[in-house]
Homo-oligomer: A and B are copies of this chain.
Amino acid sequence: MLIRAEAEISVAGLMAEIGRRARAAAGPLAIAAAETKTSALLAMADAVTRRMPQILEANLIDMANGRAAGMTEALLDRLKLDEARVLSIAASIRTIAELDDPVGQIIAEWDRPNGLHIERVRTPLGVIGVIYESRPNVTADAGSLCLKSGNAVILRGGSDSRHSAASIHGALLEGLAAAGLPEDAIQLVPTSDRAAVGEMLQGLDGKLDVIIPRGGKSLVARVQSEARVPVFAHLEGLCHVYVDASADLDMARRIIVNAKMRRTGVCGAAETLLIDKLIAPTHLVPLLQDLAKAGCEIRGDESVKQLFPAALPASESDWSTEYLDAIISVRTVDGIDGAIEHIDRYSSHHTEAVIAEDPAIVERFFNELDSAILLHNASTQFADGGEFGMGAEIGIATGKMHARGPVGVEQLTSFKYRVRGSGQIRP
């Protein structure tokens, strides 16, 4: 017990020091020139490429440890790096380097009758904490996005990938040093002790401005329930597709197979299909045949089973299950009213799509539903910062505060007002 208590004290001290260093680095970083940050990012990408042998070697250690620990093949695949994946990490850093620098951008400006000119300009948030699991690329992606947006970052990766993460982190530090930026701008928590996460959730004594969890539902749930600082995250992506009576059947077939089956493990994958009962007799069978042919298990309500007997019966819990797998729940609804009622009740407010040709239906779907992303006649799998044109994203948020939807460099900024006068005083 004594040893444990001492370890906790030392983790607390370590994390407090990391917090202080991050806050100190955030000052110069916030006013660093755009070109300095860009050159740091390009130097990081070069360093990742140059250090390929060491990075692959470090990854081999993590992979061997993972295998010895009985990690599943799916998890091992997430952890694994090869030459192509390392090059893709470097390419992502270069993509981020080429983005417009958000800091200092004028978001809005206007004049007042008294001659004051007011500008709202983007500023960094300060210090961002990123807590993630086994994907080694998150180290580089999160580090680069935070640097581009002028924020210091504290990275806390999973213990499974610690050798890979440390090796990639070394390349990031080389880039910072090459550009003359403080190395404390991107810190990697050097301990696997879970108490370090607890310290971050407490906010490191005011040094941490926001936490972004990247990983499975249990990690996100813990962060959301325990964090004493703002969190940008989504717990799940329980995405719906509604096929209205006015839908073009061919388009609906293409979109639904893509929304469900393109990649089943991403948060933008469709989980529930709602179909207007008016067209179920004609449209349901071709839609479900496509899905079945693509290898999808279908769980339907009573009316679905009558039209498509191969469907398994859906239970109440299916409507609130994010499968992240080749399974879809299907029910018929009473037009747009029924669709809105179902989505309101079961959605995780991430992404929903309507397939319809009637503009009045689309407007109701767009106005009455309040999810981060609503799509018309397009696949839910477009729920992605890259697809939105943000260049890269650190994740998708379903909260309504500050950031919502894909979180890119702009969402990692705050703003301040600059007011230019010529001697104005207030009457």
Contact = CB atoms under 8 A, between A and B. Distances in A.
Given A401-B210, A415-B404, A426 B230 contact: no
A254 interface: yes
A258 B423 CA distance: 11
A418 B254 contact: no
Interface string A395-427: 000001110110000000011111111111110
Interface in A357-400: 362, 366-368, 370-379, 381-382, 387-389, 400
A131 interface: no
Contacts of A382: 116, 419, 421, 424, 426
A426 B367 contact: no
A374 B422 contact: no
Interface in A104-127: 104, 110, 112, 116, 118, 123, 125-126
Contact of A425 (B116, B210, B379): B379
B424 A389 contact: no
Contacts of A210: 401
A248 interface: yes
Consensus secondary structure, chain A interface:
mixed
Interface string A241-259: 0000000100100110011
A212 B69 CA distance: 49
Interface of A: 27, 30-31, 104, 110, 112, 116, 118, 123, 125-126, 209-210, 230, 248, 251, 254-255, 258-259, 262, 344, 362, 366-368, 370-379, 381-382, 387-389, 400-402, 404-405, 414-426
A141 to B, nearest CB: 20
Nearest to A377: B421
Interface pairs A-B: 9 shortest CB-CB: A378-B421, A258-B425, A400-B414, A402-B402, A381-B426, A251-B423, A375-B419, A377-B421, A378-B424
Contacts of A418: 366, 374, 376
Contacts of A259: 425
Contacts of A255: 423, 425
B379 A420 contact: no
Nearest to A117: B376
Contact of A125 (B262, B400, B425): B400
Given A367-B31, A373-B417, A415-B404, A426 B379 contact: yes
A254 B425 contact: yes
A404 B400 contact: no
Contact of A420 (B230, B376, B414): B376
A366 B123 CA distance: 11
B401 A405 contact: no
A248 B416 CA distance: 26
17 contacts: A27-B344, A104-B367, A116-B387, A123-B370, A123-B400, A209-B401, A254-B425, A258-B425, A258-B426, A373-B416, A374-B417, A375-B421, A376-B421, A377-B423, A401-B402, A401-B414, A404-B415
Contacts of A254: 423, 425
Contact of A419 (B112, B125, B374): B374
Contacts of A116: 378, 382, 387
A366 B421 CA distance: 13
A414 B405 CA distance: 11
